Amino acid sequence: MNYSIAKKIDGDVDFRTLLEKIKEALKDNGFGILMEIDMKDKFKKALNKDSDEYVILGACHPQSAHEAIKSEIEIGLLLPCNVIVYEKDKEFYVSVINPEILIEISQRENLMEIANDIRRRLEASLELI
């Protein structure tokens, strides 16, 4: 099973617009953004190295996170759901974590229903961009 679900973005869109589109699509599917890390900026500041665009979003569906943590207190180590927006070879991509893989890591099959719902929500978010 693949650990990511990716989408290449076709058409003429700039990176910042794409980033805002995925954040809005996630919001439309019940997610909040807990963190946003601009790796291009971090690499420049910490290493003085230039790189392509690469942003990591920490997305959380509060109800699902609450249910999962109630069921398995350590599951927080695998949260939030990471979403990456990046540039590769002058093209843009959005990739989301496959939450079913996280459940396999935890070996808590009772959480698979939550993971399936989150996967559907993440895939729906990708379809909106």
CATH number at residue 118: 3.30.310.70
* H/E element, 7: strand 4-9
Scored b (16 or more CB within 10 A) or e, 59-83 reads bbbeebbebbeeebeebeebbbbbb
Its domain, for residue 114, covers 4-127
* H/E element, 23: helix 15-28
Can you give the pTM of this predicted structure? 0.93
Q: Are 52 and 87 in contact (CB under 8 A)?
A: yes
What total number of domains does the chain contain?
1
- Record the tokens describing residue 71, joined without a space: 């069921």
CA 84, 50, 126: angle at the middle one, nearest 5? Answer: 15
Q: Which backbone phi and psi does 50 adopt, to 5 degrees?
A: -85, 145
Please report the DSSP string for 34-89 in residue order.
Answer: EEEEEHHHHHHHHH------EEEEEEE-HHHHHHHHHH-GGGGGG-SEEEEEEEET
First-last CA distance in the chain: 24
pLDDT tens for the chain, 129 residues: list them: 699 999 999 888 899 999 999 999 999 999 999 999 999 999 999 999 999 999 999 999 999 999 999 999 999 999 999 999 999 999 999 999 999 998 888 888 899 999 999 999 999 999 999
Taking the C-alpha atoms of residue 104 and residue 72, their distance in angstroms, rounded to an integer, is 13
